[in-house]
Chain A
Amino acid sequence: MTDLLNSFLRNRWVRKIASPSRFTLFVVALLIIVSTVRRITGAADITSAGLSGATLRFTIPLLMAGLGGLWAERSGVINIGLEGMMIAGTWLGAWFAFIYGPWVGFLAAAIGGAVIGLFHGILVVRIGIDQAVSGLAINILALGAARYLSGILFPSRGGDISLSPVVEQTPTLTVPGISPLLGSIADKNIFLLSDGAGILSGFVTEISYATILLLLAVPLSTWILWKTKFGLRLRFCGENPVAAESLGVKVYRMRYMALAISGMFASVGGAYLSLVASQVYREGQTGGRGFIGLATVIFGNWRPSGVLAGSVLFGVTDALRIRQPTSIHAALLVVIIAGSIYVIWAFATGRMKHGVRALMATSFIGLIYLTVPEIPREFVSFFPNLATILVLVLLAQRLKPPAMLAVPYREREETE
């Protein structure tokens, strides 16, 4: 029976038909689980438009930081300075948005981030100092510079040393027709349908144009890195710089460009925090999101789509944390049900080892669900960090980081 099922699933045609719809199937299954959990626990928030909207707002900064990390690491350089670049972005974005409006704020953050990224590049690629030292120094410098400049510029303009004046909002989009329709369905309280509509309406109501634009960075990154010559060369530098150079690729130049792009993404992610998520620059706004960006790169196995998945996951937990604590508990139940389904599926297809592991993990979460009445917010805040360590420990064989990540490389010099 299992052999039959196995060979059926492995069939070329079955796989071909199943692959595009697999995603849909996954989404529908998840929706059914979430709706069921909502009925059981009464945690209405988990399928509300508020939560999905908040998830989107929390996802974008992590996604930008993650893509920043991805671009740097694909070229072979690790960027610990993501956090500092994000801080620079929050500040630059707010200051230029205050004077010229939000879009100029984003532009200024992008340019500033690219400059800092290039600075990191010159330090670690050309001069060859330690990549972690440079990154940490950039974090400190950005922190100090932002506070120094705030102290000089903000107090006379209605802010203070740790707070900017309020900036103008970015224009938002509410899809006409669909958004009110989804809203009315969500209010009807029909199982599954209302839940789906609730979640969806968060994605089509008052969405900043910046959100839509920045989401495009994922397909764009995939396309550039995997479908263009430039991307191939850039990844080549991360996998084998010696061979790349022998084939005429300018390793230094590729890495400079990768780091400029990396800084740009991280900084724009920061600007999103101060311009879209809150419309004000506040000290400590980034809250370690640059480091979580590094985590999403590992979590996403050094692929843009993976980084997106990681950012959404961490974005959901971030959104749950600041909303209702009961939702976190309900989310655990979602994980338990999904885990149980995976366990059954793994045993049915004969992958005993996976099944046993998943069973252990699921029962562990189940134990937490039953014994702990409320997951403390502090624990949810480090969920991304813990998840990343667990991924590194348990799935190390599946991860494929660039082969020469963080290994310094010196171009051959012309002999005199």
Chain B
Amino acid sequence: MKSRNLLAVLAPLGAIAFSFAFISVILIAKGSNPIEVVKSMAEYGFASRNLVAELNIASTYYIAGVAAAIGFKMNLFNIGIDGQYRLAVFFAAVIGGMVSLPPVLHVALIIFVAMAVGGLWGALAGYLKVKRGISEVISTIMLNAIAAGIVAYLLQPQQLGEQATGSNNLNTPIIDSSGWLPTIPILGGEVHGFIIFSLLIGLAYWVLLNKSVFGFNLRATGFSFRAARAGGVNASRMILITMALSGAMAGLIGMGTLLSQTHSYSISFPSGFAFTGLALALLGRNHPVGIALAAFFWAFLDRSSGVLDLNGVPREIITIMQGTLILSIVVAYQLVKIVNKKQEQKFVGKATLPESNLVKTEGVVSK
């Protein structure tokens, strides 16, 4: 058992080491010194100004990681995080921009709208899976494209969007300051107030999963669909709820940026959270603390890659590293699983051999 836990810790570390080695080879092939590159990245990335930005990015990523992890816990692959996030933050921005309410209520409404829209879009994929047997991988890929199209359409000036004069950037109307979330001054910078919600979400995720009946059923269904159903769990309902929850989480991804920074949705909002979320959930092994560490690491890589262009290295080397990291980590987990299984088989094989049975009985008798 002990060796197994050790392997589980070594696997991510080994994967990180491998991906570092891999990009080092690429950098050497290009004629850059990998040690210099890492040094300049660390210097840049740990500067307090950038640490603040990393915290903000990490809190966004963290929610994406939790959204993916909720699905993973039940063997559901929510690639639709991208679409759920986009649709949710868009409608939250639009509705938040339309109304004026007392401060706390306004923020609460925006968050509620985001969760509701994201949750519904996620539940749609869950519904298609439960009622029509459509794999959530396929349906969420298709729903992502549909969400992107709907948002692109509605963002036009003649619909719900606005275009600032002399700019190409389309955005939704600015939300009144009652719908803003204050920033927290840390390290001389402004950290999104939403980071506190991110921490609460992590806590809620842990409690829900480990301390509630629902979480128990969810994990049980993830382990074995049929066994859970035999045990009285309504598996179809679980799928629907899990996809809705995962979608609702995905809906919160853009909240930090919307509530504390831009106060309107625009086409320059980041995308690609489906991969990020999946990567963080895998890297952090679906554990709230693990995902948090992974999110910060990811944000650090993203932010500090900005210095690379100055060193004459395209910053996409970091994208390559992130892709490599995910593949190597999944491969590492899989190899550990195969090794463990082999050991188990050997053990079971030995224990059930006729002679060993004999030895055992004799031992009991002589006692």
Interface residues of A (CB under 8 A from B): 78, 80, 123, 127-130, 132-134, 136-141, 143-145, 147-148, 150-152, 161, 288, 291, 294-295, 298, 376, 378-379, 381-382, 384-386, 388-389, 392-393, 396, 406
Contacts and interface: CB of A to CB of B under 8 A. Distances in A.
Contact of B323 (A137, A386, A393): A137
Contact of B319 (A80, A128, A130, A143): A143
Nearest to A383: B149
Interface stretch (B139-147, B190-198, B289-297, B351-359): B139-147
Nearest to B125: A389
B16 to A, nearest CB: 15
B8 interface: no
A147 B319 contact: yes
B316 A147 contact: yes
Contacts, number: 124
B135 interface: yes
A127 B274 contact: no
Contacts of B145: 288, 291, 381-382, 384-385
A288 B275 CA distance: 15
Question: Most chain-A Cβ atoms within 10 A of its Cβ — which of B30, B152, B335, B338?
Answer: B152
A127 B128 contact: no
Contacts of B323: 137-138, 140-141, 144
A379 B148 CA distance: 10
B153 A378 contact: yes
Nearest 5 pairs between A and B by C-beta?
A: A144-B319, A151-B314, A141-B323, A378-B153, A382-B149
29 contacts: A80-B141, A129-B331, A129-B334, A132-B77, A132-B137, A133-B330, A136-B79, A136-B278, A141-B319, A141-B324, A141-B327, A144-B319, A144-B323, A145-B316, A145-B320, A147-B316, A148-B314, A150-B314, A291-B141, A291-B145, A378-B149, A381-B149, A382-B149, A384-B145, A385-B146, A386-B142, A388-B138, A389-B143, A393-B132
A139 B145 CA distance: 16
A309 B282 CA distance: 38
A61 to B, nearest CB: 16
B: contact size bracket: 35 or more
A137 B153 contact: no
B133 A396 contact: yes
Interface string B318-339: 1110111011001100110010
B327 A294 contact: no
Contacts of A145: 316, 320
B86 to A, nearest CB: 13
B160 interface: no
Contacts of A127: 331, 334-335
A392 B132 contact: yes
Given A140-B323, A388-B138, 20 more contacts: A80-B137, A128-B338, A130-B330, A136-B274, A136-B275, A137-B326, A138-B323, A148-B320, A151-B314, A291-B141, A291-B142, A294-B141, A378-B152, A379-B153, A382-B148, A385-B142, A385-B143, A385-B146, A393-B128, A396-B133
Given A133-B282, A136-B278, A147-B316, A393 B152 contact: no
Contacts of B132: 392-393, 396
Contacts of B38: none
Interface in B276-332: 278, 282, 314, 316-320, 322-324, 326-327, 330-331
Interface in B138-172: 138-139, 141-143, 145-146, 148-150, 152-153
Given A127-B334, A144-B316, A392 B148 contact: no
Contacts of B137: 78, 80, 132, 406
A385 B124 CA distance: 14
B134 interface: yes
B316 A392 contact: no
B135 A406 contact: yes
A315 to B, nearest CB: 16
B149 A392 contact: no
Nearest to B136: A132
Given A137-B323, A143-B319, A132 B79 contact: yes
A141 B134 CA distance: 28
Contacts of B319: 140-141, 143-144, 147-148
Contacts of A123: 327, 331
A319 B10 CA distance: 52
A148 B331 contact: no
B320 A392 contact: no
Contact of B128 (A133, A294, A389): A389
Contacts of B327: 123, 129, 133-134, 137, 141
A138 B275 CA distance: 11
A77 to B, nearest CB: 13
Contacts of B326: 133, 137, 140
A406 B137 CA distance: 11
A138 B141 CA distance: 16
Interface centre among B30, B134, B138 (most CB of A within 10 A): B138
B322 A392 contact: no
B330 A129 contact: yes
Nearest to B325: A137
Contact of A392 (B139, B153, B338): B139
Contacts of A148: 314, 316-317, 319-320
A384 B327 CA distance: 30
A126 to B, nearest CB: 10
A141 B128 contact: no
B135 A133 contact: no
B320 A152 contact: no
Contacts of B278: 133, 136
A378 B161 CA distance: 14
Contacts of A294: 138, 141
A28 to B, nearest CB: 34
Contact of B149 (A379, A388, A406): A379
A275 to B, nearest CB: 23
A80 B137 CA distance: 9
Contacts of A138: 323
Contacts of B338: 128
Contacts of A379: 149, 153
Nearest to A396: B132
A393 B149 contact: no
Contacts of B316: 143-145, 147-148, 151
Contacts of A161: 314
Contacts of A298: 138
Contacts of B150: 378
A393 B145 CA distance: 17
